[in-house]
Structure 1
Amino acid sequence: MTFSLVARSDDGRLHGVVVASRFLAAGALVPAAEAEVGALATQAHVNLAYRAQGLALLRTGVAATDVVAGLVAADGERDRRQLGVVGGTGAGGTWTGPRCRPWAGGQAGDGWAAQGNILAGRHVIDAVRDGWLGGSPLPFADRLVAALRAGDEAGGDRRGRQSAGLLVVERGAGYGGTGDVLVDLRVDDHPDPVAELGRLLAVHTLLFGRPDPTTLLDLTGAVAAEVAALLTALGYSVDPAAPEDALVSWAGLENLEERLAPGRIDPIVLDRLRGATPHVPAPRPGSDAIPTT
């Protein structure tokens, strides 16, 4: 019913799972991951116990291939299961039971495992593999979705499309630095779920992505003046020389608080602020002009 990819980032800091299926809310059942421990996908005749059991084994240092072997050996329904596991180091592991509906199979390599059942053919997993291996320049979550998209475009689930999901974990990278879940997105019922998952990831990155320190602008001079004018036009009471308090208030309402930086402004936030107040003219080109992205 499903094809998926479990993977680890090249630096070992991120783990994730991406999945698509002609099955309602596959993202609610298939993925599990723990920061700096590993990730797994349970599918076909899903065994939800694999998630906690597999992560517990990975936590103790058991290799991904041995986790797969241990889980399926203890499962009387293993012939109907499909499983992919990746750990903190080493190769991924994958299992396809002989009673999984065709086409069914998987592949694994250093830091990844791809698997699927009821697929258009083995070329779907080839496409997921190639999408993953060829996507290294992309950010980790985007790389996962690109690999899933490659499988979807190769035919994916031979019954059609319905749902997709993405789970990415990294130590301390969750909202406000208070957790490890970096991305947790689901498309539960949609005619084009992989494309919708990509759209949601783009929105997630816009709202919750951390600012690039090399692009931040000092909230002084012409930048502060423009920000103050924009916020004033939106009805905020602003100190023209120090608009940061009003900026924080506005950004919180726009769900952009993760992009705030004390004494500076993310160009992405500035562009969003400009878009919210289109009637305020941009500064004229010149030595004090404020850059746009």
Structure 2
Amino acid sequence: MNNPIIATFSIAACDPDRGEWGVAVQSKFLGVGSVVPWAKAGVGAVATQAFANPAYGPEGLKLLEEGLSAEEVIKKLTDADLQKEDRQVGVIDSSGRAATFTGKDCYDWAGGVTGKHYTAQGNILVNQETVTQMGDTFEKAEGPLADRLIQAIQAAQEAGGDSRGKQSAAVLVVRDQAGYGGLSDVAVDLRVDDHPEPIKELERIYQLHQLYFGETKEENIQLIDENVKREMAGHLFRLGYLKSKDVDDKVFYESWTTYLHTENFEGRELDQGKVDRKVLDFMKSQPGEI
């Protein structure tokens, strides 16, 4: 029995300056994020697709951790695989070296490119430009690795994309102690398993991720003067956190703290008298009674 083909385009990359490794992927395949992307902080990243061999992920990371280069990892993985000509894999190592492999039996268009700190590959694509544009966009993009990876797959889709259509997308980025509470290395792990516009939906939930887990920037700190307090109290009343818009400071700040903790904004909670504009904008956008 043949495995379903993961008709896919992906990019595996790193940002040595930030100490980040990751993968972004889009596919005409249900839940592609459960199969293709693999990464380990300080070690590297692997994207395995086509007639995907999921073992390439953990085994590839193990070999990288042992000190093998990206090219050596791909050679070792494929030499031991009797179905390698049906496979496609991209690897980025701890030094930012990249390698990609496309078996000769992968369905056209299939292939990959490598560049500075990235490898981009795809199969059953509309055209080669899907892959080249993915790489070019990554090289020109700025910001955290997750931003650059998502921009890259967005550009790939616009350049042609998967010839069979769109269904799922994912982004995985790791960095030392970047996870929740500093207790894991998973900085970003977001998946859209089934959606008519998976990359757009991935971008939407990534922006939510940044809102909930990103840090407050200095330029977004707003002092709560009487006008701002009046505005905030109005929204807290509208959303059911206050019984009246006209309350004293004690009741106001108690309700504001309740709102922050209810909405999971503890990471953006500031000293009394200050508010993160990003949180305030989110509150304004929430539906509620007028």
The TM-score bracket by the shorter chain reads 0.7 to 0.9
How far the C-alpha of 1:269 sits from its partner, in A, is: 1.6
Structure 2, unaligned runs of 5 or more: 1-6
Aligned equivalent of 1:249, options 244, 258, 271: 258
Q: Are the counterparts in 1 of residues 222 and 275 from structure 2 also a CA contact under 8 Å?
A: yes
Query: Which secondary structure does the structure 1 equivalent of 2:24 belong to?
Result: strand
Q: Does 1:199 align with 2:208?
A: no
How far the C-alpha of 1:29 sits from its partner, in A, is: 0.6
Q: Does 1:62 align with 2:68?
A: yes
Match of 1:106 in 2: 112
CA–CA distance in structure 2, aligned partners of residues 110 and 167 of structure 1: 19
Query: Which secondary structure does the structure 2 equivalent of 1:204 belong to?
Result: helix
Equivalent runs, 1:157-196 vs 2, <5 Å: 157-196=162-201
CA–CA distance in structure 1, aligned partners of residues 193 and 40 of structure 2: 22
Q: Are the counterparts in 2 of residues 82 and 95 from structure 1 also a CA contact under 8 Å?
A: yes
With 245-254 and 73-82 compared, the bigger mean Cα shift is at: 245-254
Q: Are the counterparts in 2 of residues 228 and 240 from structure 1 also a CA contact under 8 Å?
A: no
Match of 2:129 in 1: 123
Aligned equivalent of 1:14, options 13, 20, 28: 20
Q: Are the counterparts in 2 of residues 171 and 180 from structure 1 also a CA contact under 8 Å?
A: yes
Query: Which secondary structure does the structure 2 equivalent of 1:186 belong to?
Result: strand
CA–CA distance in structure 1, aligned partners of residues 183 and 270 of structure 2: 17
How far the C-alpha of 1:165 sits from its partner, in A, is: 1.0
CA–CA distance in structure 2, aligned partners of residues 2 and 127 of structure 1: 15
Give the % identical residues: 40
Q: Does 1:155 align with 2:155?
A: no
CA–CA distance in structure 2, aligned partners of residues 227 and 14 of structure 1: 40
Q: Are the counterparts in 2 of residues 7 and 113 from structure 1 also a CA contact under 8 Å?
A: yes
Provide the aligned length of Structure 1 versus Structure 2: 278
Q: Are the counterparts in 1 of residues 98 and 118 from structure 2 also a CA contact under 8 Å?
A: yes
Structure 1, unaligned runs of 5 or more: 281-293
CA–CA distance in structure 2, aligned partners of residues 277 and 48 of structure 1: 43
Q: Are the counterparts in 1 of residues 241 and 259 from structure 2 also a CA contact under 8 Å?
A: no
TM normalised by structure 1 equals 0.84
RMSD: 2.6
Q: Are the counterparts in 2 of residues 63 and 90 from structure 1 also a CA contact under 8 Å?
A: no
CA–CA distance in structure 2, aligned partners of residues 277 and 69 of structure 1: 54
Q: Does 1:35 align with 2:41?
A: yes
TM normalised by structure 2 equals 0.85
1:94–1:223 CA distance, 2 compared to 1 (3 A)? farther
CA–CA distance in structure 1, aligned partners of residues 180 and 241 of structure 2: 29
1:222–1:278 CA distance, 2 compared to 1 (3 A)? farther
CA–CA distance in structure 1, aligned partners of residues 286 and 217 of structure 2: 22
